Amino acid sequence: MGTTTTARPQKREAWGRLRKLPSKRWQARYTGPDDRTYSARTEDDKPLTFLTKGDAREWLNAVHAKISRGEWLPPDEAV
């Protein structure tokens, strides 16, 4: 007879990736339309981390919306 497996809860985001850093803050990453991976950064190009997973997910959703609307520019071109 066969073995049964149970479904594991999905840990990945529907779009992009979130990870908890050793500092307990959250980092958001995504793959842009140019197939490059980008991390959240401030306007002055410093790493941007988030206090909560929800905050990181909200930022990621906003980036996804920009890409969907065709308003996204690579961070080094967006000034």
Amino acid, single-letter form, for residue 7: A
Range of the domain at 54: 17-69
Backbone torsions φ then ψ of 65, nearest 5 degrees: -65, -40
Question: What pLDDT shows up at residue 33?
Answer: 94
pLDDT digits (tens, 9 = 90+) for 24-62: 999 999 999 999 999 999 988 899 999 999 999 999 999
Which run of H or E residues covers position 17?
Answer: strand 17-20
Is the residue at 29 inside a domain?
yes
Whole-structure pTM value: 0.78
Q: What is the greatest pairwise CA distance in the chain?
A: 62
Is the residue at 32 inside a domain?
yes
Domain count of the fold of the chain: 1
Is the residue at 7 inside a domain?
no
Is the residue at 3 inside a domain?
no
> Minimal CA–CA distance to 60: which of 32, 34, 35?
32
